[in-house]
Structure 1
Amino acid sequence: MKATIVGATGYGGLELMRILNNHPYINIHSVVSNSYAGKDVKDVYPHLSGANLPVLAAMNMENLEDGADIVFFATPSGVSKEYIPQLIEKGIKCIDLSGDFRLTSPAVYEQWYMHPSASQDYLNKAVYGLSEMNEKVIEGAQLIANPGCFPTASLLAMIPIVKTGWIDENSIIIDGKTGVSGAGRGVSLGTHFSETNENVKAYKLGKHQHIPEMEQVLSDIVSKPIQLTFSSHLVPMTRGILCTIYMKLTETVTLEMVVSMYKEFYRNRPFVRIRTDGTYPSTKEVYGSNYCDIGFALDVRTNQLIIVSVIDNVMKGAAGQAVQNVNIMMGWTETTGLELSPLYP
């Protein structure tokens, strides 16, 4: 397939170039970046000097549709919805890494993202690309809404237990921590070195745009509304997400029962790794990879299940899952181009 990457000089687009440059079935046909149009990729990112990549093109429909079989949008929210409908009508497949097509309700999108939504027709066409959960509908899809980074880590950790009915669905609390790359490459005071180094700070408490995304997925699973509490924190590291999730148990279960259930649930899912030895995963253990590692604790005193889930926000939380979705969409082996061991230390 010939692929176009839009937003190629952001962190998500950069990671897509790294993966797709070695993918056996996808050729990087064009790379689009309004801020660096006309430049060679190596002039923006010298570490890619050895890669055979096209010159960065300007953002317009002619460049997006010219010869592409699939277009990846690694753009801020509000951009892809202006272009994807036209590409879909021309039969071009699209993977959207922004939030423009994740929510099924335009009103909910506008409430949380604070700008106009895509039309309902195209929201209905979009398939939510949580790879491990939606494989059947991803197969043959034309438009995939790639999940957010926090929802990927949290939903993979929550969905199996929510499906059992062992917990109080409205007791869920998610404590999320992310590295600075999650804010993108743009310069801002909030991600300035002297503001983030040796500092941890909470942000968007009760207002994060990933809240309705997680509630939408979980509500669909149990066929009733679910509300959860999500707190996000910025920590002084480049990559990684760690979510610690708390939920009240409504059934008498053991830790062994929980671990056994999760191992069976993800038995054929190569990118989800379940801890069985009572240890908890850390972000370094998935750094640079497409893995999601999940560990568990059972607080008998408070009758709470505690789940720890970690991903690399730029990989499993963005570009890696996007390529995983293309592999599923096209009927290729799910791990194609993604068999990357984590970087350690």
Structure 2
Amino acid sequence: MISVGIVGGAGYIGGELLRLLLGHPEVRVVAATSTRLAGRRVDGGHPNLRGRTDLSYSRPDQLPECDAVFFTSSGLEDPALRADLAGRGKVVFDLSSDLRLGDPQLFRRHYGAHPTPELLGTAVTGLPELYRDRLRTADLISVPGCMATAAILALRPVADLIDGVVTVDGRVGSSGSGASAGEMNLHAERSGVLRVFAPLNHRHQAEISQATGLAVRMTATGVDAVRGVQVLCRADARQVDEATIRAAYRRHYADEPFVRVVAQKRGNYRLPEPKILLGSNHCDVGFAVDPDSGQMLLIGALDNLVKGGAGNAVQSLNIRMGWDERTGLEFTGLHPA
């Protein structure tokens, strides 16, 4: 059994890490930090964990040495503290945007100047479907963004068929803004809206381009849901039909435990729908194609807090430690929900 610490355990991603890791048979959670809530019980902010843990939050500087440390938010405002805390873990998982891009200039464009640009490009991306072999020996792992994960998994099997620019329309529930997102995410402001919060050049487009080699333009919209991501990726292709695309998806994901191809002719859930994935580590991918024009619509859906965050991190942990990568991630989602 390994020891695990979570830096930033009070937010939504921290709560999901706690939920998954407290039920993991190979893990003992020894610390969850919060500057604001230090000394208070973890299940006060995460009431779904009542009866599962007696853990209280500690200050970040009280983090003990662990076999694995998870960062849930950016440490760029205090790089020295971040480096100190990272040094307390034999393996480090970063779920923030700090290490997702390898190019300092690209990072500057989307996030601003990186105080320690020499770190960029040093982490292995925590997306098992693309980087499983590298994850087996990685000691620094950067988990990609939620909408980026859905888009990458939807695009990667057919990337070599695509001509020109891909447009990505991402939709995400309010939990994607975090637990302290401010006035714009009050229920009175968020309920019932379809808010285009990134009309052009959403920062996840850089991650999608980096992973697929495609030119990407991305828009993001906040929808009236708490959890869930759905991305619609539009692209032109060379001489494709439905059978070609379906074969590419099935070949690429035949042995993947958490990616399912969903493109059916009938039923209520003919294409990927995040509602039935809530709480699960699955990403469903699907497609539609116009054989006359060569236009493809490639769709990905997932729970932004699980496969789009904490679940990807735990799956990567399983691979790194040599365990069955499904361990602790068996929940299938609910229907109806």
TM superposition score normalised by structure 1: 0.91
2:304 is matched with 313
Once the two structures are TM-superposed, the CA of residue 13 in structure 1 deviates from its matched residue by 0.3
| Alpha-carbon separation, structure 2, partners of 1:89 and 1:6 | 12
C-alpha distance in structure 2 between counterparts of 1:183 and 1:4, whole Å:
23
Structure (1 or 2) with the greater strand fraction? 2
Q: How does 1:81-120 map to 2 (within 5 A)?
A: 81-87=79-85, 92-120=90-118
Look up the match of 2:131. 134
Alpha-carbon distance in 1 for matches of 2:186, 2:50:
27
Give the alignment partner of residue 162 of structure 2, picking from 158, 167, 174. Answer: 167
- Corresponding residue for residue 20 of structure 1: 21
Q: CA deviation at 1:248?
A: 0.2
The alpha-carbon deviation at position 211 of structure 1 amounts to: 1.7
Change (3 A) 1:99 1:82: farther
AA at the equivalent of 2:319: I
Equivalent residue number for residue 244 of structure 2: 257
* Structure 2 counterparts to residues 27-66 of structure 1, below 5 A: 27-60=28-61, 63-64=62-63, 66=64
Distance change >3 Å, CA 129–CA 297, structure 1 → 2: same
**SS of 1:23's equivalent?**
coil
Distance (whole Å) between structure 2 residues aligned to residue 205 and residue 276 of structure 1: 28
SS of the residue 2:13 aligns to? helix
Secondary structure at the counterpart of residue 176 of structure 1 = strand
Residues 176-325 of structure 1: matches in 2 within 5 Å?
Answer: 176-219=170-213, 226-250=214-238, 252-278=239-265, 279-325=270-316
Q: Percent identity?
A: 32
Give, in angstroms, the shift of residue 117 of structure 1. 3.9
Task: Give the aligned partner of residue 223 of structure 1.
Answer: none
Distance 1:177 1:77, change over 3 A: farther
- State the distance in 2 between where 1:215 and 1:77 align: 24
CA distance in 2, matches of 1:98, 1:214: 16
1:41 Cα deviation after fit: 1.2
Secondary structure, counterpart of 1:202 in structure 2:
strand
Q: Is the 8 A contact 1:77 1:99 kept in 2?
A: no
Deviations, residues 17-76 of structure 1 (Å, cap 9, x unaligned): 00001101111010101110111112323332201242100122xx23x13111101114
Go from structure 1 to structure 2 and tell me whether the alpha carbon gap of 1:108 and 1:102 turns closer, same or farther (over 3 Å shift).
same
Is the 8 Å Cα contact of residues 88 and 142 (structure 1) preserved in structure 2?
no
CA distance in 1, matches of 2:180, 2:17: 18
Query: Matched residue pairs, number?
Result: 331
CA distance in 2, matches of 1:80, 1:253: 50
Aligned to 2:72: 74
Distance 1:82 1:301, change over 3 A: farther
AA partner of residue 114 (structure 1): G
The 2-side partners of 1:327 and 1:79 are apart by 30
Secondary structure at the aligned position of 1:177 is classed as: strand
SS in 2 for 1:132: helix
* CA pair 87-199 structure 1, distance change in 2 beyond 3 A: closer
User: Which AA in structure 1 matches 2:333?
Assistant: P
Where do 5+ consecutive residues of structure 1 fail to align? Answer: 220-225
Structure 1 residue 6, shift from structure 2 partner: 1.1
Structure 1 position 256, deviation (Å): 1.6
Query: Shift of the alpha carbon at 1:92?
Result: 2.0
Moved over 3 A (4+): 79-91
Deviations 1:76-125 (A, max 9, x none): 463585445445556621000001011112222122112434331x3243
Counterpart secondary structure, 1:213 = helix
Kindly tell me: are residues 141 and 273 of structure 1, through their superposed partners in 2, closer, same or farther at Cα, counting changes over 3 Å? same
